[in-house]
Chain A
Amino acid sequence: MIYISELIILIVVFISLYFVVFWLIVFFEQENFSSRRKILRRKPIVSIAIPVYNEEDTITSTLQSVLNLNYPQKKLEIIVVNDGSTDKTEQRVLDMKKKNNFIKLISHKNIGKGASLNRALKVAKGKFFVCLDADSYVHKDALLHLLPHFKDRKVACSLPLMKSKKPLNLLQKMQFTEYLVNIFYKKIMGFLHCIPVAPGPFSVFRKNVLIKLDGYEEDNLTEDLEMTLRLQKHNYKIIQDMKAEVYTTTPLNLKSFFKQRKRWYKGGFFNALKYKKMMFNPKYGDFGIMQLPLLIISGMIGISTVLVTLYTSLKPHVKNLLNLRLVDFDIWTFIQNIRFNFNILDLNFANLIVFLIMFSISILILNLSYKLTRENISKYGRTHIIFFLFFYFFMLGISWILLFPELFQKKQEW
C-alpha cells in the first residue's frame, strides 16, 4: 500500500505541477498583462438584475452600491427579483424604491436563482445584462471598465475582479487570498479563452446572446457556470477585466464554507459531464483540451491528496496508539525517553526538491496575484498566507470528499 500511495502522490504532484507550469508559460507569453484602459464613448442601457432570497441584512447596501455607480442613472435599469423571501427583504427594497423609483421589483414564490434571473431577463430593456448577488457590492467605476470590452463583437461577457469583502477571521482571510489567486488564473485563462465560470457578482453579459441561448438553465445548481459553459460551447469570448472591482461576502465558518464548496463542486462536476462532448475535443481549443477536464481532474486531485496525506501521516500514529494497549497505555515511559536524533540525510530529497520547486512557484503566483489585483500581501497579516499555502488545498479536498457520496446518488438534487 505504501507504494500505491507514493505512486498516487507522484501522479497528483506531476499533474498539478504540469497545470501550474502550463499557466505560467501562458502568463509569460503575454506582453500586455494589464488591460489598457479603454474609453467608453457611448453609454448603453445596462440592466442590473439582483435576485434575492432572504437578504434583509445586505440588500440595502448592495442596492446602494449600484446606485453609487459612476454611470448615468437614466441608463441604468435595476431589477430586484424577490424569490419568495420570508423575511423583510421586500420591505427593504420598497423603502429604497421610494427614494429611487426607477428600481423595479418583481416578486414571486420561490422558484430558484436561474428562474429568477430569467424573469429579469424577460423584462430587461438594456443592451447589457448584469447579475449581482445580493451579498455583493460593486465599485463605482466597475461598469466603465467592463463595458468597453464589448467593442469586440465576439465578446459575450466581461468579468470584474471578484474580491472578498474585508475578512474578519482566518477562514475569510484565506478565502480573500484564494479569490486573488483565482483572478490571476482567470486572467491567464482569458488569454486562451478558457474562463470556465462567470460568477454571480457583476459579470456583464451581452443581453441578446443570453436570449439567443434561451437564458439561464432553471434547474441547475450553478446556473452561472452552466451559462459560461454554453458561451464556451458557442465560441463566445469571455474577458477578465483587471480594473473593475466587486466585493462579495465569503463564508465565515467551516460549515457554510463546506456547504458552499459542495454546491460549487457538485455544479462543476455535473455541468462538466453535461458538456462531456466538449471534453478533450480539439474543436473547442484549450478549453476543451485543458480547462473542462480540469473541472473533474481537480476533484480527483483534491480527493487523492487528502486521502493519501491522511493515510501516510496518520497510519503510523494510529498504529502506535492502538499498540499502546499492549503496554497498558503507559505513555509516560515513552515520553520520558523521547530523544531527538535528526540527520539531514533522513529527509526524502527527491520529494523535497519537487516540493520546494512547487512551493517557490506558489509564492511566485501569490505575489503576482497580489500585485496584479493591487493588494498588499501583508494587509491582513501573514498568518493566513501560511495557512493558505499549507492547509487550504486540504480544505478544498475535504469539500470534494464530503461531496463524493452525493455524486453517486441516483436522483440528483439541484
Chain B
Amino acid sequence: MRNIKKKRYLIAFILTVFIFVFGIMVGLVMESQRVQFVQDKAYEQKLDYRSLQFQYQFIDQLSQENNCPVLANALNVNLETLEDTRIRLTNYNLDAKISKDDFEMLYRDYILSQLNYWLLAKKARELCNFELATILYFFSTDKDCPDCGEQAFILTYLKNLFGDKLLNFALNSQFRDEKSLELLMETYSINVFPTLLIEGRKFEGLAEKQTILREICKHYKDMEECY
C-alpha cells in the first residue's frame, strides 16, 4: 500500500480553480468595459444623427443643394460606424455573461438609430437626387433561419460591390419588443426570415444575388455593376 498526500491534490485543485476564477473575473470586468464602449458609441451616433438631421434641414429649408455631397459623405461614414457597432454588439451580446440586459437595451437603441438613418437616407435621396438604394434586411438569430448566414453574405458582397451607393440595414427580428421594429414588421407583414425590403418591395426567403441586383439596379442610372 502506497501513501497518497491528499493535500497536494486539493491544493492543485484550489490553485486551478483560482486561475479560472481570476480569468472569469477579468472577463467580467472587460464585459462592463464593453457595455461602456457601446454606450459611448451610441451617444456618438446620436450626436452624429442630430448633426445629419441639421444638415438635411439646412439644405431643405435654405435650398442649399450644393451641400448635398457633404451630406452624402457624412451619411455614409455614419452608416459604416453604425454597421461596425452592430457587428460588435451582436458578438458582445453572444459572449455576455452578466450584462445581457444592458446589451439588449443597447441593441434596441441601435435598431432605432438604424431606422432613423433609413428614413433620413430616403429623404436625403429625394432632396439631393442621390443615386442610392436601401435594403432592409430582416433576419433571425434563431435556428429557424438557416438561410440568414447566406443572405448576410450576399448583402455584404453587394455592399462591397456598390459601396456608398447601397445602404443595408440589418434588423434582428428577435428585438421586435422594440415598438418601431414591430410597427415596421407588421406594416410589411414580415413573418419569414430572411426577408428583404428593397425600396418597398418585399422578398421572402433567400434572395439570390441576381434577384437583388435586378431590383437595386432600377434605382441607378449608370452603374457599371448593373451590366
Task: Please report A residues at the B interface, Cβ cutoff 8 Å.
Answer: 14, 17-18, 21-22, 25-26, 29, 193, 235, 282-287, 289-290, 319-320, 323, 326-328, 330, 333-334, 336-337, 341, 343, 345-354, 357
Contact = CB atoms under 8 A, between A and B. Distances in A.
A349 B8 contact: no
Given A283-B2, A334-B160, A25 B12 contact: yes
Contact of A349 (B12, B19, B27, B161): B27
Given A283-B1, A328-B209, A354-B23, A349 B30 contact: yes
A353 B26 contact: yes
A266 to B, nearest CB: 28
Interface in B147-194: 149-150, 153-154, 157, 160-161
B62 interface: no
Nearest to A355: B23
A285 B34 contact: no
Interface string B71-105: 00000000000001000100110010000000000
Nearest to A348: B95
A326 B208 contact: yes
Contact of B20 (A284, A330, A354): A354
Interface in B1-58: 1-4, 8-9, 11-13, 15-16, 19-20, 22-24, 26-30, 33-34, 37
A345 B34 contact: yes
A336 B157 CA distance: 11
Contacts of A343: 37, 88
Contact of A334 (B92, B154, B157): B157
Given A319-B149, A326-B154, A336-B160, A350 B12 contact: no
* Count class of interface residues, chain B: 35 or more
Contacts of B30: 345, 347, 349-350
Contacts of B2: 193, 235, 283-287
Nearest to B16: A18
Contacts of A328: 209
A302 B160 CA distance: 41
A289 B153 contact: no
B22 A326 contact: no
Contact of B4 (A25, A285, A330, A337): A285
5 smallest CB-CB distances across A and B, nearest first, come from A285-B2, A350-B27, A22-B12, A353-B23, A349-B30
Nearest to A326: B154
Contacts of A289: 4, 9
21 contacts: A17-B19, A25-B12, A26-B8, A283-B2, A286-B4, A287-B2, A289-B4, A320-B153, A323-B153, A333-B160, A345-B30, A345-B33, A345-B34, A345-B37, A349-B29, A350-B27, A350-B28, A352-B23, A354-B19, A354-B20, A357-B19
Given A22-B8, A346-B88, A14 B16 contact: yes
Nearest to B159: A337
Contact of A326 (B1, B150, B161): B150
A18 B209 contact: no
A7 to B, nearest CB: 13
Contacts of B208: 326
B209 A326 contact: yes
Given A18-B12, A320-B153, A333-B157, A350 B4 contact: no
Contacts of A326: 150, 153-154, 157, 208-209
A328 B158 CA distance: 12
Nearest to B84: A341
Interface string B195-211: 00000000000001100
Nearest to A357: B19
B27 A21 contact: no
B129 to A, nearest CB: 26
A367 B26 CA distance: 28
A349 B20 contact: no
Contacts of A29: 8
Given A235-B2, A285-B4, A345-B37, A353 B157 contact: no
B203 to A, nearest CB: 15
A175 B22 CA distance: 33
B12 A21 contact: yes
Contacts of A350: 23-24, 26-28, 30
Given A282-B4, A323-B153, 13 more contacts: A17-B19, A18-B12, A18-B16, A25-B8, A25-B15, A286-B2, A326-B157, A345-B30, A348-B27, A349-B29, A350-B27, A351-B23, A354-B19
